[in-house]
Chain A
């Protein structure tokens, strides 16, 4: 046993990033699914890969998880080259696929015991780990039920539990909440946050902007196999530019004058809402919002409510990819 313990030759010294991807390329026939993607994930970080269906998110993840060969470019997990030492990489990662990656014919407990045994746990330890994980993921009541009777949310939780058996330092989550209802989605988010609090590094793909915003420290936006942007959620929003000032007016007939004043002070074009008492004004410098209020009071225009909001990631995505089609409606190309 000790003869197999080793220092892999491909391992770089010092603290290697959890994920290092350089110029990654994958072609399926004439289609370039992943086109020179670069990505770095520091240990302890949670990074979201955001993009519509068919953008190349899953393909990228599958290459990193040693499930697909790499056409060109380089990928390292904790300094270990994915193409050169797949067996070492597999000991460092946990993978939860987009579709159920558990055995339908086995019960929840049997699945976890199987994956435990495959990863070298003794019969007893495999059983104990299965019980512990099922309890932790709220599945103990369903432990002995065939998976056919599992709801989508339960299946995903079991899937995630199965990825955690060997306590991998890096976890890949491929669209962990796609197809889940809002409540189970929230539960899944809580679970993911707990994992990060315990020190795991997570790379997740998602087509939900909200999900990336909620969970990720950093987001890489991918479209047509290319990375179009990367940064913290705030940075991405800042990249799109301004925040928005929303003014609710007490009286309908003041709207025209209020729009004039706000537009003059902020130097932008206000958007008048259809109901006629609300103004949306793009703000380039939030410091000027106070000036707008002063000017409105001088003009005797009464404001009942105001808010300054940051743009949503939906707006960010549209600004970055320059498309206005709904991200979730395009056909999946894997």
Chain B
């Protein structure tokens, strides 16, 4: 008779504390990041409307800006595209990473965060997991922007290699900048608040840059800011890669700028996030 009874392994241990670890190792954290990214990807698949911004914005803004500003700024649409497409890329990536903060805030307010927090996992994996999943968003945004541009007559002189490199750079830049918005997510009290603050960061960063207009058309005091703005460097670097296929010093500056943003905001975010109330 006993054979028919299912005997689950006992929950009791002679010494419960034996074999426990004081902290999660880096390998644990990376594996946990992978698991959290998997969760993010499933969520994206279940709720495809989350990709709405990265799908619609490249299509809409590329067409709109090209036909509205093309003639005024570059003489005609075709001449404006090599200037515009890298700008739209940067703008879309920034918008895409704005959602990181909103999502993080929403996650933090959910019951499931209690379970993540009570599990013996690396705290930072809960933040980095969704951010890894978000790489898909930047990829979608970049590919769509280029596709729209090419459909409108843009022929990137950098070739396939240059375009691929510029897409990689945009993904890296978007991921780095998303740490800023993740940090906003941890300091704001609601998802709506995150959205508002992020807009205030996003708009000046994209429009007060060289993304849509040549810098020398701006007043002198504004040029100083625009030249300092990391978005300008990313846009210039993307133009260099996509339009000439060369790795210029601007690329190095953009990569360094991204690294600096991560170095500042990643620790800030994880610290804020891990804080217990």
- Residue numbers of A with Cβ under 8 A of B are 4-8, 11, 43-44, 65-69, 78-80, 85, 87-88, 90-93, 95, 97, 99-106, 110, 114-115, 117-120, 136, 146, 162, 164, 167-170, 195, 198-200
Q: Which of B1-37 contact A (CB under 8 A)?
A: 8-13, 16-25, 28, 31-32, 34-36
B47 touches A105 (CB 8 A): yes
B20 touches A92 (CB 8 A): yes
- Provide the bound-state CA to CA distance between A8 and B120, in Å: 15
A102 touches B22 (CB 8 A): no
B22 touches A87 (CB 8 A): yes
Q: Taking CB as reference atom, which chain A residue is nearest B27?
A: A1
- Provide the bound-state CA to CA distance between A146 and B46, in Å: 9
Task: Take A5-B21, A66-B276, A117-B35 as given contacts and tell me if A110 and B42 are in contact as well, using a CB distance cutoff of 8 Å.
Answer: yes
Any A CB within 8 A of the CB of B38 = yes
B11 touches A198 (CB 8 A): yes
B46 touches A198 (CB 8 A): no
Name the prevailing secondary structure of the A interface residues. loop
Instruction: Point out the residue from B12, B21, B125 that lies within 8 Å of A91, measured CB to CB.
Output: B21
Which of B10, B31, B38, B119 has the largest number of chain A CB atoms within 10 A?
B119
Q: Taking CB as reference atom, which chain A residue is nearest B50?
A: A105
A102 touches B17 (CB 8 A): no
B16 touches A4 (CB 8 A): no
A88 touches B20 (CB 8 A): yes
Q: Interface size bucket, B side?
A: 35 or more
Task: Take A114-B39, A117-B35 as given contacts and tell me if A6 and B21 are in contact as well, using a CB distance cutoff of 8 Å.
Answer: yes
B21 touches A99 (CB 8 A): no
B277 touches A69 (CB 8 A): yes
Name the prevailing secondary structure of the B interface residues. loop
Given A95-B114, A115-B119; 20 other pairs, CB 8 A cutoff: A4-B25, A7-B18, A68-B277, A69-B276, A87-B22, A91-B21, A91-B120, A92-B17, A103-B43, A104-B112, A105-B47, A106-B39, A114-B39, A136-B8, A146-B46, A170-B16, A198-B8, A198-B11, A198-B12, A199-B11
Any A CB within 8 A of the CB of B189 = no
Any A CB within 8 A of the CB of B118 = yes
- Provide the bound-state CA to CA distance between A200 and B11, in Å: 5
Which of A85, A106, A118 has the largest number of chain B CB atoms within 10 A?
A118
Residue numbers in B under 8 Å from A164 (CB-CB): 11
- Provide the bound-state CA to CA distance between A53 and B51, in Å: 41
- Provide the bound-state CA to CA distance between A67 and B277, in Å: 8
B46 touches A199 (CB 8 A): no
B112 touches A101 (CB 8 A): yes
Q: Taking CB as reference atom, which chain A residue is nearest B46?
A: A105
A-B residue pairs in contact (CB < 8 Å), sample of 19: A7-B18, A43-B16, A66-B118, A67-B276, A68-B276, A80-B20, A92-B20, A103-B110, A105-B43, A114-B39, A115-B115, A117-B32, A118-B116, A118-B119, A119-B121, A136-B8, A169-B11, A169-B16, A195-B11
Residue numbers in A under 8 Å from B39 (CB-CB): 103, 106, 110, 114
B111 touches A199 (CB 8 A): no
Residue numbers in A under 8 Å from B11 (CB-CB): 164, 167-169, 195, 198-200
